[in-house]
Amino acid sequence: MEHFNVEEIDEYGSILTLDTTILKQNLDYFKSLINPNTFIMAMVKAVAYGHGAIRIASELEKYKAVNYLGVANIQKGIELRKAGIELPIMVTNPVSGYFHKMCEYCLEPVLHNQDLAESFSDFISNSSEIDSNYPVHIKFNTGMNRFGFDLEGINSFLKLFRIANWKVKSVMSHLSCSDEESEDEFTLKQFETFKQIKLILEKELPGDTIWHILNTNGVIRFPEFQYDMVRVGIGLYGASEYLPAREFIKPVGTFKAQIAQIRHVKKGESISYSRGGRANENKYIGILAVGYADGFPRSLGNGNWKVEFNGKLFPTIGNVCMDYTMIDLGIEKNTIALEEYVTIFGGIQSIFEYAKAQNTICYEAMTDLGNRVQRILID
């Protein structure tokens, strides 16, 4: 039976083991693509793409592996600070009502529109305890059309910049299809737009302003546009929808679940909700302590996924429940023992196959893993 440190897990039986050696190897690969003096921002948003933000951030900080961390909102940045993380943290979508908390925990906002930028400037003006040189990151839209000032609005930004009570730490943009070779013409237009923005802004911004536009697939495919910093997200965890990248990076996580019960069912008996499964012969089934509340979706029930144990694969049977999933163990009673762990992905079957079985991308499959799934670091 596989054992884990009981101080690190609770009695609930689904876990995601995180191989720190692979994490470092992935990071080293990205470092090999950029100049030694180029900064790296590790994106730990969405619970570090499902891998556990605190554990991943702590590991990266311990080894002095990156220069910045990126999160999606203020609360997630606060959680990292409370866990002792000291690296600079960029917040991609700060909410004005929580500026005071953001500054209290030394989190750096991305100002991505005029109203937000003005609100933060006003907040600093009315807060005597906060330095007027508070660092901010300015985002420009170069074609993603999600967040960011437009090139056409650059003069409005400059008017605010000249009177604003904050300091521009970096200027950034985001690529929308850097993994799609068929869209390279569009990506190159994004780079050209960013270049135009830089040519205008650098005349007025501080000389130490950091410029960055590359994401994971951008680093892999367009390292010549690395500027001063790159942002590595999904690739850090060993995944990419750009197929050639999978030759160089390896998934960090292995998803496992524990056998909560083994029972015998007779031929013709039904299994799980709505009698979704049927025994075509007398057989044994295993009940896994994982369900759709943990990120194992209902779509993978009824034989649409197989779990691994000792090099063998066992299909699901019946509908996936909120907390449990049944697997078909066949006619042999001693196939798996009670409380053994089976592998859902990360063994014979990869995260990519797991995502494909759900008709989605690896990003979604990773980040769907729930809070009850225990994240455990291994070397």
Examine the residue annotation and report whether 12 is marked as an active-site residue of this protein: no
Exposed (0-12), middle (13-18) or buried (19+): which is 298, by Cβ within 10 Å?
Answer: middle
Phi, psi angles (nearest 5°) of residue 132: -70, -10
The H or E element that residue 161 is part of is: helix 154-163
Structure tokens at 212: 């960055």
Examine the residue annotation and report whether 29 is marked as an active-site residue of this protein: no
The position carrying tokens 């495919």 is: 221
The position carrying tokens 């367009």 is: 222
Task: Identify the active-site residue in 12, 105, 242, 273.
Answer: 273
Q: Are 230 and 172 in contact (CB under 8 A)?
A: no
Q: Residue 130: left (phi > 0), alpha (psi -120 to 50), or beta?
A: beta
For the beta carbon of residue 32, count every other beta carbon within 10 angstroms.
9
Task: Identify the active-site residue in 29, 45, 134, 283.
Answer: 45
Structure tokens at 216: 């994971």
Total residue count of the chain as it appears in this document = 379
How far apart, in Å, are the Cα atoms of 333 and each of 221, 283, 317? 51, 8, 17
Active site residues: 45, 273
